[in-house]
Amino acid sequence: MLANLIEGFSNIFTFEILLMILAGSLIGYFVGALPGLTPSIGIAILVPITFGMDPIAALVLLVSLYGAAEYGGGITAILLNAPGTAAAAATAWDGYPLAQKGLANKALTVSILSSGIGAFVSAILLILTAVPMAKFALNFGPLEYFALAIFGLSLISVLSEGSLVKSLIGMFFGLVIICIGIDPIVGVTRFAESGSLLGGIPFLPALIGLFALSEVFYMLENTKNEKAVVEKVKGLGFTKEDFKKIWKTMIIKAPIIGYVIGVIPGAGATVASLVAYSEAKNSSKEKESFGKGNIQGVAAAEGANNSAVPGALAPMLALGIPGSASAAILIGALTIQGLQAGPKLFHETPEIPYTLFASLLISVPIMTLIGLLGVNLWVKVIKIPKNILAIIVSTICIVGAYAYNNSMYPVWIMLIFGILGYFIRKLHVPTTPIVLAMVLGFMIETNFRRAMIVSTEGVSFFFTRPIALVLIILAILMFFLPLVKKIRQKHKEQKDSKEIQV
Protein backbone atom coordinates (compact mmCIF):
# COMPACT_ATOMS: atom_id res chain seq x y z
CA MET A 1 0.00 0.00 0.00
CA LEU A 2 2.81 2.38 0.94
CA ALA A 3 4.55 1.68 -2.35
CA ASN A 4 1.32 2.41 -4.19
CA LEU A 5 0.86 5.64 -2.28
CA ILE A 6 4.41 6.76 -3.08
CA GLU A 7 3.77 6.00 -6.71
CA GLY A 8 0.60 8.03 -6.39
CA PHE A 9 2.55 11.00 -5.07
CA SER A 10 5.02 10.71 -7.90
CA ASN A 11 2.13 10.90 -10.35
CA ILE A 12 0.66 14.11 -9.05
CA PHE A 13 3.67 16.39 -8.97
CA THR A 14 3.24 17.40 -12.55
CA PHE A 15 2.22 20.80 -13.76
CA GLU A 16 -1.00 19.47 -15.23
CA ILE A 17 -2.23 17.78 -12.07
CA LEU A 18 -1.33 20.69 -9.80
CA LEU A 19 -3.19 22.97 -12.18
CA MET A 20 -6.22 20.68 -11.94
CA ILE A 21 -6.13 20.86 -8.14
CA LEU A 22 -5.99 24.65 -8.24
CA ALA A 23 -8.71 24.96 -10.88
CA GLY A 24 -10.94 22.43 -9.14
CA SER A 25 -10.62 24.21 -5.80
CA LEU A 26 -11.34 27.65 -7.23
CA ILE A 27 -14.35 26.52 -9.27
CA GLY A 28 -15.55 24.52 -6.30
CA TYR A 29 -15.57 27.58 -4.06
CA PHE A 30 -17.88 29.47 -6.33
CA VAL A 31 -20.09 26.50 -7.08
CA GLY A 32 -20.44 25.91 -3.36
CA ALA A 33 -20.95 29.54 -2.50
CA LEU A 34 -23.80 30.10 -4.95
CA PRO A 35 -26.91 28.74 -3.28
CA GLY A 36 -28.54 26.34 -5.69
CA LEU A 37 -25.40 25.12 -7.36
CA THR A 38 -24.64 21.96 -5.42
CA PRO A 39 -21.36 20.05 -5.55
CA SER A 40 -23.05 17.43 -7.71
CA ILE A 41 -24.28 20.02 -10.21
CA GLY A 42 -20.78 21.52 -10.32
CA ILE A 43 -19.24 18.13 -11.03
CA ALA A 44 -21.86 17.39 -13.65
CA ILE A 45 -21.14 20.65 -15.45
CA LEU A 46 -17.44 19.88 -15.55
CA VAL A 47 -17.72 16.22 -16.54
CA PRO A 48 -18.00 16.85 -20.30
CA ILE A 49 -14.83 18.96 -20.14
CA THR A 50 -12.93 16.02 -18.69
CA PHE A 51 -13.81 13.71 -21.59
CA GLY A 52 -10.59 14.47 -23.41
CA MET A 53 -8.37 14.41 -20.32
CA ASP A 54 -6.13 11.77 -18.88
CA PRO A 55 -8.21 9.79 -16.34
CA ILE A 56 -6.09 10.82 -13.35
CA ALA A 57 -6.22 14.51 -14.24
CA ALA A 58 -9.98 14.28 -14.75
CA LEU A 59 -10.56 12.57 -11.43
CA VAL A 60 -8.30 14.97 -9.52
CA LEU A 61 -10.09 17.98 -11.01
CA LEU A 62 -13.53 16.66 -10.13
CA VAL A 63 -12.61 15.53 -6.62
CA SER A 64 -10.92 18.86 -5.82
CA LEU A 65 -14.07 20.62 -6.97
CA TYR A 66 -16.23 18.32 -4.84
CA GLY A 67 -14.23 19.08 -1.68
CA ALA A 68 -14.02 22.83 -2.22
CA ALA A 69 -17.73 23.07 -3.04
CA GLU A 70 -18.65 21.44 0.27
CA TYR A 71 -16.59 24.15 1.95
CA GLY A 72 -17.87 26.99 -0.24
CA GLY A 73 -21.43 26.35 0.92
CA GLY A 74 -20.43 27.54 4.36
CA ILE A 75 -19.33 30.99 3.17
CA THR A 76 -22.78 32.26 2.21
CA ALA A 77 -24.31 30.38 5.13
CA ILE A 78 -22.18 32.44 7.51
CA LEU A 79 -22.39 35.78 5.73
CA LEU A 80 -25.95 35.82 4.41
CA ASN A 81 -27.76 32.97 6.16
CA ALA A 82 -28.02 31.43 2.66
CA PRO A 83 -26.53 27.92 2.82
CA GLY A 84 -24.82 27.34 -0.51
CA THR A 85 -25.23 23.59 -0.14
CA ALA A 86 -27.72 21.52 1.83
CA ALA A 87 -24.93 20.34 4.11
CA ALA A 88 -24.15 23.91 5.12
CA ALA A 89 -27.53 24.42 6.78
CA ALA A 90 -26.06 23.57 10.17
CA THR A 91 -23.18 25.98 9.53
CA ALA A 92 -25.65 28.84 9.29
CA TRP A 93 -27.13 28.13 12.73
CA ASP A 94 -24.08 29.51 14.50
CA GLY A 95 -22.14 31.09 11.66
CA TYR A 96 -24.76 33.71 10.82
CA PRO A 97 -25.28 34.87 14.41
CA LEU A 98 -21.48 35.18 14.72
CA ALA A 99 -21.37 37.35 11.60
CA GLN A 100 -24.21 39.47 12.97
CA LYS A 101 -22.14 40.05 16.09
CA GLY A 102 -19.30 41.36 13.96
CA LEU A 103 -17.30 38.16 14.17
CA ALA A 104 -17.57 37.12 10.54
CA ASN A 105 -13.77 36.83 10.29
CA LYS A 106 -13.65 34.41 13.12
CA ALA A 107 -16.55 32.34 11.84
CA LEU A 108 -15.08 32.09 8.35
CA THR A 109 -11.64 31.18 9.67
CA VAL A 110 -13.07 28.51 11.94
CA SER A 111 -15.12 27.12 9.07
CA ILE A 112 -12.21 26.89 6.64
CA LEU A 113 -9.82 25.47 9.23
CA SER A 114 -12.30 22.83 10.35
CA SER A 115 -13.14 22.01 6.76
CA GLY A 116 -9.50 21.61 5.86
CA ILE A 117 -8.50 19.66 8.95
CA GLY A 118 -11.63 17.54 8.73
CA ALA A 119 -11.04 16.65 5.11
CA PHE A 120 -7.36 15.91 5.77
CA VAL A 121 -7.99 13.61 8.73
CA SER A 122 -10.81 11.97 6.84
CA ALA A 123 -8.55 11.46 3.80
CA ILE A 124 -6.05 9.64 6.00
CA LEU A 125 -8.86 7.49 7.38
CA LEU A 126 -9.90 6.78 3.80
CA ILE A 127 -6.41 5.66 2.79
CA LEU A 128 -6.19 3.34 5.78
CA THR A 129 -9.69 1.92 5.80
CA ALA A 130 -11.35 2.38 2.39
CA VAL A 131 -11.92 -1.30 1.62
CA PRO A 132 -13.03 -2.57 5.06
CA MET A 133 -15.24 0.48 5.64
CA ALA A 134 -16.91 0.04 2.27
CA LYS A 135 -17.65 -3.57 3.15
CA PHE A 136 -19.06 -2.42 6.48
CA ALA A 137 -21.37 -0.05 4.62
CA LEU A 138 -22.91 -3.04 2.84
CA ASN A 139 -24.40 -4.13 6.17
CA PHE A 140 -26.76 -1.21 5.88
CA GLY A 141 -30.02 -2.59 4.60
CA PRO A 142 -33.43 -0.90 4.67
CA LEU A 143 -33.82 -1.46 8.40
CA GLU A 144 -30.44 0.03 9.26
CA TYR A 145 -31.12 3.08 7.10
CA PHE A 146 -34.46 3.50 8.79
CA ALA A 147 -32.84 3.25 12.23
CA LEU A 148 -30.12 5.71 11.23
CA ALA A 149 -32.70 8.20 10.00
CA ILE A 150 -34.77 7.81 13.18
CA PHE A 151 -31.60 8.42 15.16
CA GLY A 152 -31.08 11.57 13.09
CA LEU A 153 -34.64 12.71 13.77
CA SER A 154 -34.23 12.09 17.51
CA LEU A 155 -31.56 14.82 17.51
CA ILE A 156 -34.48 17.23 17.45
CA SER A 157 -34.57 17.27 21.23
CA VAL A 158 -30.90 18.27 21.39
CA LEU A 159 -31.19 20.80 18.60
CA SER A 160 -34.48 22.44 19.48
CA GLU A 161 -34.62 25.70 21.33
CA GLY A 162 -37.47 26.66 23.56
CA SER A 163 -40.81 24.98 23.20
CA LEU A 164 -40.70 21.29 22.34
CA VAL A 165 -44.25 21.47 21.02
CA LYS A 166 -43.24 24.09 18.46
CA SER A 167 -40.25 21.98 17.48
CA LEU A 168 -42.53 19.01 16.91
CA ILE A 169 -44.88 21.17 14.84
CA GLY A 170 -41.89 22.14 12.71
CA MET A 171 -40.83 18.53 12.38
CA PHE A 172 -44.25 17.31 11.25
CA PHE A 173 -44.52 20.20 8.82
CA GLY A 174 -41.25 18.99 7.26
CA LEU A 175 -42.45 15.39 7.18
CA VAL A 176 -45.68 16.36 5.41
CA ILE A 177 -43.76 18.37 2.81
CA ILE A 178 -41.70 15.28 2.03
CA CYS A 179 -44.85 13.32 1.15
CA ILE A 180 -45.62 15.51 -1.86
CA GLY A 181 -44.92 13.83 -5.18
CA ILE A 182 -44.95 10.30 -6.52
CA ASP A 183 -45.05 7.58 -3.90
CA PRO A 184 -41.64 5.89 -4.02
CA ILE A 185 -42.85 2.32 -3.50
CA VAL A 186 -46.14 1.87 -5.32
CA GLY A 187 -46.04 4.87 -7.63
CA VAL A 188 -49.34 6.63 -6.85
CA THR A 189 -49.32 10.43 -6.75
CA ARG A 190 -49.64 12.25 -3.44
CA PHE A 191 -50.81 15.87 -3.08
CA ALA A 192 -49.77 16.40 -6.68
CA GLU A 193 -51.84 16.08 -9.81
CA SER A 194 -49.34 16.73 -12.55
CA GLY A 195 -46.37 18.75 -13.64
CA SER A 196 -43.38 19.65 -11.55
CA LEU A 197 -44.96 18.81 -8.21
CA LEU A 198 -44.77 15.13 -9.18
CA GLY A 199 -41.06 15.31 -8.52
CA GLY A 200 -41.65 16.50 -4.98
CA ILE A 201 -40.41 19.62 -3.23
CA PRO A 202 -36.70 20.09 -3.98
CA PHE A 203 -34.84 20.43 -0.70
CA LEU A 204 -32.18 23.01 -1.49
CA PRO A 205 -34.47 25.69 -2.99
CA ALA A 206 -36.81 25.22 -0.02
CA LEU A 207 -33.86 25.63 2.31
CA ILE A 208 -32.71 28.82 0.57
CA GLY A 209 -36.20 30.26 0.91
CA LEU A 210 -36.59 29.21 4.51
CA PHE A 211 -33.24 30.62 5.61
CA ALA A 212 -32.08 33.36 3.28
CA LEU A 213 -35.20 34.88 1.74
CA SER A 214 -37.01 35.02 5.08
CA GLU A 215 -33.93 36.82 6.40
CA VAL A 216 -34.34 39.36 3.61
CA PHE A 217 -37.88 40.05 4.85
CA TYR A 218 -36.44 40.59 8.30
CA MET A 219 -33.92 43.03 6.82
CA LEU A 220 -36.78 44.94 5.17
CA GLU A 221 -38.60 45.27 8.49
CA ASN A 222 -35.80 47.38 9.76
CA THR A 223 -36.02 50.49 7.61
CA LYS A 224 -33.10 52.18 9.29
CA ASN A 225 -30.29 51.85 6.83
CA GLU A 226 -27.58 50.56 9.06
CA LYS A 227 -24.42 48.72 8.20
CA ALA A 228 -23.48 45.52 9.93
CA VAL A 229 -20.51 45.86 12.18
CA VAL A 230 -17.31 44.00 11.62
CA GLU A 231 -15.07 44.09 14.64
CA LYS A 232 -11.55 45.11 13.78
CA VAL A 233 -9.33 42.17 14.43
CA LYS A 234 -5.72 41.36 13.90
CA GLY A 235 -5.11 38.66 11.31
CA LEU A 236 -8.01 36.29 10.97
CA GLY A 237 -9.69 36.74 14.31
CA PHE A 238 -8.84 33.26 15.47
CA THR A 239 -7.09 33.04 18.84
CA LYS A 240 -5.32 30.41 20.89
CA GLU A 241 -8.27 30.33 23.28
CA ASP A 242 -10.57 29.56 20.38
CA PHE A 243 -8.36 26.69 19.34
CA LYS A 244 -8.28 25.30 22.87
CA LYS A 245 -12.04 25.43 22.93
CA ILE A 246 -12.68 23.61 19.70
CA TRP A 247 -9.66 21.43 18.94
CA LYS A 248 -11.35 18.20 19.98
CA THR A 249 -14.32 18.82 17.72
CA MET A 250 -12.13 20.04 14.90
CA ILE A 251 -9.43 17.36 14.82
CA ILE A 252 -11.11 14.27 16.24
CA LYS A 253 -14.88 14.26 16.54
CA ALA A 254 -16.14 16.02 13.42
CA PRO A 255 -13.76 14.19 11.04
CA ILE A 256 -14.64 10.77 12.42
CA ILE A 257 -18.38 11.42 12.44
CA GLY A 258 -18.16 12.89 8.95
CA TYR A 259 -16.08 10.05 7.56
CA VAL A 260 -18.19 7.22 8.97
CA ILE A 261 -21.52 8.75 7.95
CA GLY A 262 -20.04 9.71 4.58
CA VAL A 263 -19.15 6.08 3.91
CA ILE A 264 -22.76 4.94 4.31
CA PRO A 265 -24.32 5.39 0.87
CA GLY A 266 -27.29 7.71 0.93
CA ALA A 267 -26.59 9.25 4.33
CA GLY A 268 -23.99 11.79 3.25
CA ALA A 269 -22.69 15.22 4.18
CA THR A 270 -25.97 16.76 5.34
CA VAL A 271 -26.75 14.03 7.86
CA ALA A 272 -23.09 14.07 8.96
CA SER A 273 -23.14 17.79 9.72
CA LEU A 274 -26.42 17.51 11.64
CA VAL A 275 -25.09 14.65 13.77
CA ALA A 276 -21.75 16.36 14.45
CA TYR A 277 -23.49 19.61 15.35
CA SER A 278 -25.78 17.86 17.83
CA GLU A 279 -22.88 15.96 19.30
CA ALA A 280 -20.95 19.20 19.83
CA LYS A 281 -23.95 20.86 21.42
CA ASN A 282 -24.75 17.90 23.62
CA SER A 283 -21.22 17.53 24.96
CA SER A 284 -20.66 21.24 25.43
CA LYS A 285 -20.80 22.98 28.78
CA GLU A 286 -22.33 26.07 27.21
CA LYS A 287 -25.32 24.56 25.43
CA GLU A 288 -27.32 27.79 25.60
CA SER A 289 -24.86 29.63 23.40
CA PHE A 290 -25.42 27.22 20.50
CA GLY A 291 -27.58 28.75 17.82
CA LYS A 292 -26.58 32.18 19.03
CA GLY A 293 -23.02 32.18 17.74
CA ASN A 294 -20.84 29.44 19.14
CA ILE A 295 -17.72 28.71 17.09
CA GLN A 296 -17.85 25.09 18.12
CA GLY A 297 -21.12 24.72 16.21
CA VAL A 298 -19.48 26.07 13.06
CA ALA A 299 -16.46 23.82 13.54
CA ALA A 300 -18.59 20.72 14.01
CA ALA A 301 -20.89 21.33 11.05
CA GLU A 302 -18.20 22.38 8.58
CA GLY A 303 -15.70 19.80 9.77
CA ALA A 304 -18.19 16.99 9.36
CA ASN A 305 -19.60 17.96 5.98
CA ASN A 306 -16.12 18.14 4.48
CA SER A 307 -15.03 14.91 6.12
CA ALA A 308 -17.98 13.22 4.46
CA VAL A 309 -16.36 13.81 1.05
CA PRO A 310 -13.49 11.31 1.45
CA GLY A 311 -16.00 9.06 3.21
CA ALA A 312 -18.24 8.99 0.17
CA LEU A 313 -15.25 8.03 -1.97
CA ALA A 314 -14.67 4.81 -0.01
CA PRO A 315 -17.64 2.76 -1.27
CA MET A 316 -17.31 4.41 -4.68
CA LEU A 317 -13.70 3.38 -5.19
CA ALA A 318 -13.79 0.03 -3.40
CA LEU A 319 -17.18 -1.27 -4.51
CA GLY A 320 -18.40 0.97 -7.30
CA ILE A 321 -21.29 2.08 -5.10
CA PRO A 322 -21.89 5.82 -4.91
CA GLY A 323 -21.84 7.20 -1.35
CA SER A 324 -23.48 10.42 -2.52
CA ALA A 325 -25.03 12.07 -5.57
CA SER A 326 -21.66 13.60 -6.40
CA ALA A 327 -19.92 10.23 -6.16
CA ALA A 328 -22.54 8.81 -8.53
CA ILE A 329 -21.54 11.35 -11.15
CA LEU A 330 -17.86 10.59 -10.52
CA ILE A 331 -18.61 6.95 -11.32
CA GLY A 332 -20.20 8.11 -14.57
CA ALA A 333 -17.10 10.17 -15.35
CA LEU A 334 -14.88 7.14 -14.71
CA THR A 335 -17.04 4.99 -17.00
CA ILE A 336 -16.54 7.43 -19.83
CA GLN A 337 -12.80 7.15 -19.26
CA GLY A 338 -13.19 3.42 -19.79
CA LEU A 339 -12.57 2.68 -16.10
CA GLN A 340 -14.94 1.00 -13.73
CA ALA A 341 -15.05 2.00 -10.09
CA GLY A 342 -15.23 -1.07 -7.90
CA PRO A 343 -13.31 -4.22 -7.04
CA LYS A 344 -11.49 -4.21 -10.37
CA LEU A 345 -10.09 -0.72 -9.85
CA PHE A 346 -7.81 -1.64 -6.95
CA HIS A 347 -6.61 -4.86 -8.60
CA GLU A 348 -6.10 -3.77 -12.17
CA THR A 349 -5.29 -0.07 -11.95
CA PRO A 350 -4.18 0.61 -8.36
CA GLU A 351 -2.46 3.78 -9.57
CA ILE A 352 -5.87 5.41 -10.04
CA PRO A 353 -7.19 5.18 -6.46
CA TYR A 354 -3.78 5.77 -4.91
CA THR A 355 -3.08 8.82 -7.02
CA LEU A 356 -6.47 10.09 -5.97
CA PHE A 357 -5.56 9.51 -2.31
CA ALA A 358 -2.27 11.37 -2.77
CA SER A 359 -4.05 14.21 -4.53
CA LEU A 360 -6.45 14.58 -1.59
CA LEU A 361 -3.52 15.03 0.78
CA ILE A 362 -2.15 17.79 -1.44
CA SER A 363 -5.38 19.43 -2.54
CA VAL A 364 -6.84 19.82 0.95
CA PRO A 365 -4.01 22.09 2.22
CA ILE A 366 -4.17 24.08 -1.03
CA MET A 367 -7.93 24.46 -0.63
CA THR A 368 -7.48 25.60 2.98
CA LEU A 369 -4.87 28.16 2.00
CA ILE A 370 -7.07 29.65 -0.72
CA GLY A 371 -9.93 29.75 1.77
CA LEU A 372 -7.88 31.58 4.38
CA LEU A 373 -6.74 34.11 1.83
CA GLY A 374 -10.37 34.69 0.92
CA VAL A 375 -11.60 35.38 4.45
CA ASN A 376 -10.91 39.11 4.51
CA LEU A 377 -12.29 39.45 1.02
CA TRP A 378 -15.59 37.71 1.79
CA VAL A 379 -16.09 39.69 4.98
CA LYS A 380 -16.48 42.85 2.90
CA VAL A 381 -19.82 41.46 1.76
CA ILE A 382 -21.52 42.22 5.06
CA LYS A 383 -20.22 45.77 5.12
CA ILE A 384 -22.68 46.47 2.32
CA PRO A 385 -25.62 48.57 3.62
CA LYS A 386 -28.67 46.48 4.44
CA ASN A 387 -31.01 47.97 1.83
CA ILE A 388 -28.60 47.04 -0.95
CA LEU A 389 -27.66 43.75 0.66
CA ALA A 390 -31.33 42.77 0.73
CA ILE A 391 -31.53 43.21 -3.04
CA ILE A 392 -28.32 41.29 -3.61
CA VAL A 393 -29.36 38.41 -1.38
CA SER A 394 -32.77 38.09 -3.00
CA THR A 395 -31.14 38.13 -6.44
CA ILE A 396 -28.74 35.40 -5.36
CA CYS A 397 -31.67 33.41 -4.00
CA ILE A 398 -33.57 33.63 -7.28
CA VAL A 399 -30.57 32.94 -9.51
CA GLY A 400 -29.46 30.11 -7.25
CA ALA A 401 -32.89 28.49 -7.22
CA TYR A 402 -33.14 28.82 -10.99
CA ALA A 403 -29.69 27.27 -11.44
CA TYR A 404 -30.83 24.27 -9.40
CA ASN A 405 -32.31 22.71 -12.52
CA ASN A 406 -32.61 25.53 -15.02
CA SER A 407 -36.30 26.09 -14.53
CA MET A 408 -38.76 28.33 -12.74
CA TYR A 409 -40.25 25.59 -10.56
CA PRO A 410 -37.54 25.70 -7.87
CA VAL A 411 -37.76 29.51 -7.94
CA TRP A 412 -41.46 29.36 -7.00
CA ILE A 413 -40.67 26.82 -4.31
CA MET A 414 -37.96 29.11 -2.96
CA LEU A 415 -40.32 32.12 -2.92
CA ILE A 416 -43.14 30.18 -1.24
CA PHE A 417 -40.78 28.85 1.40
CA GLY A 418 -39.34 32.32 1.88
CA ILE A 419 -42.76 33.70 2.75
CA LEU A 420 -43.63 30.63 4.81
CA GLY A 421 -40.28 30.89 6.56
CA TYR A 422 -40.94 34.48 7.52
CA PHE A 423 -44.21 33.63 9.25
CA ILE A 424 -42.84 30.44 10.75
CA ARG A 425 -40.06 32.44 12.35
CA LYS A 426 -42.52 35.12 13.48
CA LEU A 427 -44.43 32.39 15.29
CA HIS A 428 -41.16 31.30 16.91
CA VAL A 429 -41.38 27.86 15.37
CA PRO A 430 -37.72 26.86 14.98
CA THR A 431 -36.57 26.04 11.44
CA THR A 432 -34.08 23.40 12.62
CA PRO A 433 -36.65 20.59 12.98
CA ILE A 434 -38.09 21.40 9.54
CA VAL A 435 -34.65 20.98 8.01
CA LEU A 436 -34.06 17.78 9.96
CA ALA A 437 -37.38 16.32 8.83
CA MET A 438 -36.88 17.28 5.19
CA VAL A 439 -33.40 15.75 5.13
CA LEU A 440 -34.48 12.52 6.76
CA GLY A 441 -38.16 12.12 5.93
CA PHE A 442 -37.71 10.40 2.59
CA MET A 443 -35.08 8.06 4.03
CA ILE A 444 -37.36 7.13 6.91
CA GLU A 445 -40.38 6.45 4.75
CA THR A 446 -38.84 4.47 1.92
CA ASN A 447 -36.63 2.40 4.15
CA PHE A 448 -39.32 1.58 6.67
CA ARG A 449 -41.67 0.43 3.94
CA ARG A 450 -38.90 -1.48 2.22
CA ALA A 451 -37.94 -3.12 5.52
CA MET A 452 -41.53 -4.16 6.11
CA ILE A 453 -41.71 -5.62 2.58
CA VAL A 454 -38.47 -7.53 2.94
CA SER A 455 -39.14 -8.67 6.49
CA THR A 456 -41.25 -11.76 6.92
CA GLU A 457 -41.53 -11.40 10.66
CA GLY A 458 -42.94 -7.87 11.00
CA VAL A 459 -41.59 -5.41 13.52
CA SER A 460 -39.73 -8.04 15.57
CA PHE A 461 -37.29 -7.93 12.66
CA PHE A 462 -35.54 -5.15 14.61
CA PHE A 463 -34.30 -7.48 17.29
CA THR A 464 -32.46 -9.69 14.83
CA ARG A 465 -30.39 -6.82 13.42
CA PRO A 466 -27.78 -5.54 15.89
CA ILE A 467 -26.81 -2.32 14.05
CA ALA A 468 -30.44 -1.25 13.74
CA LEU A 469 -31.18 -2.15 17.34
CA VAL A 470 -28.23 -0.12 18.67
CA LEU A 471 -29.24 2.86 16.54
CA ILE A 472 -32.84 2.71 17.73
CA ILE A 473 -31.74 2.53 21.38
CA LEU A 474 -29.41 5.48 20.80
CA ALA A 475 -32.29 7.35 19.21
CA ILE A 476 -34.52 6.77 22.22
CA LEU A 477 -31.77 7.91 24.59
CA MET A 478 -30.98 10.93 22.40
CA PHE A 479 -34.61 11.96 22.37
CA PHE A 480 -35.46 11.52 26.04
CA LEU A 481 -32.25 12.35 27.94
CA PRO A 482 -32.22 16.09 27.19
CA LEU A 483 -35.92 16.24 28.06
CA VAL A 484 -35.35 14.51 31.37
CA LYS A 485 -32.48 16.87 32.09
CA LYS A 486 -34.63 19.89 31.31
CA ILE A 487 -37.46 18.69 33.54
CA ARG A 488 -35.05 17.98 36.38
CA GLN A 489 -33.54 21.41 36.02
CA LYS A 490 -36.98 22.99 36.25
CA HIS A 491 -37.78 21.01 39.36
CA LYS A 492 -34.53 22.05 40.92
CA GLU A 493 -35.12 25.69 40.10
CA GLN A 494 -38.60 25.51 41.54
CA LYS A 495 -37.25 23.85 44.67
CA ASP A 496 -34.52 26.45 45.00
CA SER A 497 -36.95 29.29 44.64
CA LYS A 498 -39.26 27.70 47.20
CA GLU A 499 -36.41 27.31 49.62
CA ILE A 500 -35.49 30.94 49.20
CA GLN A 501 -39.08 31.92 49.83
CA VAL A 502 -39.07 29.86 52.99
Partner 1 sequence: MKKFSLLLMFILLCILSACSNGNENALSGGKGEAATIDTTLDFEKQFTILVHTTAGGPTDLMARELAKAAEEVTGGTFIVENRPGGSGAVQMAEIANAKADGYTLGAMTPSQIGLIEGTLKNQYDLEDFSWISQGQIDPYVIAVHKDSPFNTLEELVNYAKENPGKLTVGGYGAIGSGHNVAWNIFSESAQVETVWTAYESTGDAVTAILGKHIDVANSNPGQVSQYYESGDLKILGVMSEERLEDLPDVPTYKEAGFDVDTSWAQFRGVYGPSGIDEAILQELSSIFEKAIATEGYQTYLKNSQMLTGDMDYKEFTDYVNNQSKIMVNWYEKLGVE
Task: Give the interface with partner 1 as residue ranges (CB under 8 A).
Answer: 40-41, 43-45, 47-48, 51, 138-142, 182-189, 194-199, 202, 265-266, 319-322, 325, 328-333, 335-336, 338, 340, 342-344, 384-385, 388, 405-407, 409, 446, 450, 453-454, 456
We find the least distance from the C-beta atom of residue 500 to partner 1, in angstroms, to be 56
Exposure string over 70-95, b if 16+ CB within 10 A, otherwise e:
bbbbbbbbbbbbbbbbbbbbbbbbbb
- Complex with partner 1: residue 205 or 430, whichever CB lies closer: 205
CA distances from 405 to 191, 269, 408, 409 (A): 22, 21, 9, 9
Listed residue (145, 37, 78) closest to 298, CA to CA: 78
We find the least distance from the C-beta atom of residue 343 to partner 1, in angstroms, to be 4
Beta pairing, strands 181-182 & 189-190: antiparallel
User: Residue 281 and residue 239: Cα distance in Å, rounded?
Assistant: 21
We find the least distance from the C-beta atom of residue 234 to partner 1, in angstroms, to be 27
Helix, strand, coil percentages for the chain (3-state, nearest 5): 80, 0, 20
CA distances from 445 to 149, 184, 190, 350 (A): 9, 9, 14, 39
- Complex with partner 1: residue 162 or 184, whichever CB lies closer: 184
We find the least distance from the C-beta atom of residue 241 to partner 1, in angstroms, to be 37
- Complex with partner 1: residue 58 or 330, whichever CB lies closer: 330
We find the least distance from the C-beta atom of residue 378 to partner 1, in angstroms, to be 17
We find the least distance from the C-beta atom of residue 137 to partner 1, in angstroms, to be 8
We find the least distance from the C-beta atom of residue 454 to partner 1, in angstroms, to be 5
- Complex with partner 1: residue 82 or 339, whichever CB lies closer: 339
Mapped onto helix, strand or coil, the DSSP state of residue 340 is: coil
Residue 88 carries which DSSP code? G
- Complex with partner 1: residue 41 or 260, whichever CB lies closer: 41
User: Residue 465 and residue 462: Cα distance in Å, rounded?
Assistant: 6
We find the least distance from the C-beta atom of residue 463 to partner 1, in angstroms, to be 17
- In sequence order, the 6+-apart residues with CB closer than 8 A to the CB of 329 are 40, 43, 44, 47
- Complex with partner 1: residue 165 or 185, whichever CB lies closer: 185
- Complex with partner 1: residue 52 or 500, whichever CB lies closer: 52
- Complex with partner 1: residue 46 or 158, whichever CB lies closer: 46
- In sequence order, the 6+-apart residues with CB closer than 8 A to the CB of 163 are 428
